[in-house]
Amino acid sequence: MTAQIIDGKAIAEQVRGEWKKRADALKAQGVLPGLAVIIVGDNPASKVYVRNKVRACHDVGLHSEVHELPADITEAMLLKQIQDLNANPDIHGILVQLPLPDHISDDKVLETIDVEKDVDGFHLYNLGALVAGNTVFPPCTPYGVQCLIEHTNIPIEGQNAVVVGRSNIVGKPMALMLLHKGATVSICTSKTRDLAFYTRLADILVVAVGRPGLITADMVKEGAAVLDVGINRTDEGKLVGDVDFESVKEKAGHITPVPGGVGPMTISMLVANTVLAAERLSGLGSGKLQDT
């Protein structure tokens, strides 16, 4: 079997179009959805991602602003910036780009963001709401993966889903979202004994570890949907995922490429969450997650 390649870029654009309608409705009522992105230091990859986020906001007609802070900023000063944005009525979404320098506590930063403006969904309250099945803001990357699965009409209910990776921002929320949609979910890590035993069970395989070539064709069930969240830069400067794309695409039913798969969707979901936040804070529009 040769897999259908899931065109994340095209689906991301379609999703952006859907959220643009909701943004336009808000704008017609005098509310311009606004996103503030804080970036600390000069990590080149972070700069690329932030640029993509700003461009997506611009495409949908949202306000966005980037606050570039020096790598040696104190934690207290960063927290003060967040508090100012919490209080700013023109800003509906706040995102602090990770990773942060070692002298700053990620936890403290994420807990300082107003829960209602936490468009990353990384605040402990929002993580807890997700666990309880009462999602406020779904974290953008797993939300994007779910959206890709649903747009491709891949069934979730009753299916075996395997998530490789257990981070708070991708693996764990991903597993919970699939669980809420009725999948039977296994969470593995790169250290799982006989990882292939689990991955071969998967009808839906989501990989978010950050290790190129981790998943090879022999580890994949014929016809499975394979969603690759990995982003790794090779020595030659090429971007690759965690899945050995060339071999796995001959066996899977569906597969996402890197680049052009999950990455662009992550950014569309950030746009979605910013519009949602603006609806909720203004009391206009439904403020509801749409079924993707």
Hunting for tokens 């979605």 — which residue is that? 272
Please state the φ and ψ torsions of residue 5, each to the nearest 5 degrees: -85, 120
User: Amino acid identity, residue 204?
Assistant: I
Work out whether 239 is an interface residue with ligand GUE (CB under 6 A): yes
Which one of the spans 46-54, 62-70, 147-155, 196-204 is the region binding ligand GUE (CB under 6 A)?
Answer: 46-54
Distance CA 96, CA 77 (A): 14
- Answer yes or no: 53 catalytic: yes
String marking each residue 71-110 x if it binds ligand GUE according to CB under 6 A: ------------------------xxxx------------
Active site residue 97: yes
> Is residue 138 part of the contact set for ligand GUE (CB under 6 A)?
no
Q: Is 25 left (phi over 0), alpha (psi -120 to 50) or beta?
A: alpha
Q: Binding to ligand GUE by residue 140, rule CB under 6 A?
A: yes
Report strand pairing: 184-188 vs 254-255.
unpaired
Task: Give the tokens for residue 112.
Answer: 């300082």
For ligand GUE, which residue has the nearest CB? Answer: 263
Strands 239-240 and 232-233: antiparallel
Residue 186 annotated as binding? Answer: no
Among 179, 260, 282, 289, binds ligand GUE (CB under 6 A): 260
Binding part of the chain for ligand GUE, among 27-35, 191-199, 257-265, 273-281 by CB under 6 A, reads 257-265
Taking CB under 6 A as the rule, does residue 155 contact ligand GUE? no
Q: Determine the angle formed by the axes of helices 124-131 and 171-180, rounding to 10 degrees.
A: 30
CA atoms within 13 A on the CB side of 244: 12
Q: Which two tokens stand for residue 64?
A: 């966005």
Give binding residues as ranges: 165-167, 231
- The residues carrying an active-site annotation are 53, 97, 120
Write out the residues near ligand GUE by the rule CB under 6 A: 48-49, 52, 95-98, 120, 140, 231, 239, 258-260, 263-264, 266-267
Give binding residues for NADP(+) as ranges: 165-167, 231
